[in-house]
Amino acid sequence: MLVWSRSGRLLIWVLFALIFGVLFLAPLAVILLSSLADQWNGVLPNGFTTEHYTDVARGAAWNAVKASLVTGFLASALALVSGTWAALSLRLQGHALKRLLGLLFFIPSAVPSVSVGLGLLVAFSHPPLLLNGTIAIVMIAHFVLISAFTFGNVSAGLARLSPDFEQVASSLGARPAYRLWHVTLPLLAPYLVAAFGLSFALSMGELGATVMVYPPGWLTLPVSIFSLTDRGDIFAGAALTMILVASTLVLLLGLERITARATGS
């Protein structure tokens, strides 16, 4: 305890509540409030309604949720396979190559998402690799952007893994493939689930690259929210944002419970 006097502690906690309230609590609360607001002319809404939710449910919401979930699931699954594969096979490399490749796998997270989208447009707008205007280019953009996070999470998990289990397994005569499938991957499982959850959440909120490459008819939640607010329909935008936040949190909590049950804690 750094501050011993009761009044001093109270003062510091008031300061904390102020910063936390203004920066973090107020934005979340006000999005929720505005998604339910009937009319808003004064300090507080004049009344409450669920009209914005029924509006977006009739309009863009269902397709946007579907586009976001499908994109997020496929891109995260591909990123999980490729990130785990990369992290595992990187262990077989020499020291110098390991460092260089490790760095290269991280670089997609450092490049602005808009540029990733621009690159895909430039590269895949001509035959034989004509992907511009397809759903696949959206998935690829999301995969590229989240691949570094999956790779990083799995690598961090591998680094924390005790080598004893694998050494015991191989000294007992387990072949590499058997050892990978029955020892290494089960030990890695919590990190794999966490990596999948984080990349799914990142994909759900991705805007910069998606807005560059999305084809007509495949509007993800962030793109739909932007087109609503850009038209001035900010209450419907707030309702759709709440749907995005709720589906992201449900997803993360669900994955957390799966991990907790699997590890028995």
Partner 1 sequence: MSEALAIAAPTAGKREPGRLWIVPPAALLALLFFYPLALIVRQAFLDDGGAANAAEIIRVLHSRFFLNALVNTVTISVAATAGCLIVGLVLALILAFVPFPGSGFIARLIDTFIALPTFLVTLAFTFLYGSAGMLNSGLMEVFSLPLPPVDFLYSTWGVVLAEVTVYTPFILRPLLAAFSLVDRGQIEAASVLGARPFRIVRQVILPAAVPALIAGGSLCLLLTVNEFGIVLFIGAKGVITLPLLIYGKAIQESAYQVACIIATINIALSLGLFGLYRFAAGRLGA
CB of 103 to partner 1, least distance (A): 7
Site string for partner 1, 132-151 (x = CB under 8 A): --------x--xx--x----
How many chain residues interact with partner 1 (CB under 8 A)?
89
**176 near partner 1 (CB under 8 A):** yes
241: number of Cβ within 10 Å: 20
User: Of 47-55, 57-65, 185-193, 203-211, which segment contacts partner 1 by CB under 8 A?
Assistant: 203-211
Strand partners, 48: 37
Q: For the segment 66-105, give every residue that binds partner 1 (CB under 8 A).
A: 82-83, 85-86, 88-93, 101, 103-105
- Return d(Cα 253, Cα 256) in angstroms, integer: 5
Helices (H), the chain: 6-20, 26-35, 51-58, 61-90, 95-106, 113-123, 135-160, 164-171, 176-179, 185-204, 208-213, 221-230, 234-263
Q: For the segment 18-77, give every residue that binds partner 1 (CB under 8 A).
A: 19-20, 23-24, 26-28, 30-31, 33-34, 40-44
- Return d(Cα 174, Cα 165) in angstroms, integer: 11
Q: For the segment 207-246, give every residue that binds partner 1 (CB under 8 A).
A: 207-208, 211-212, 222, 225-226, 229-230, 234, 237-238, 241, 244-245
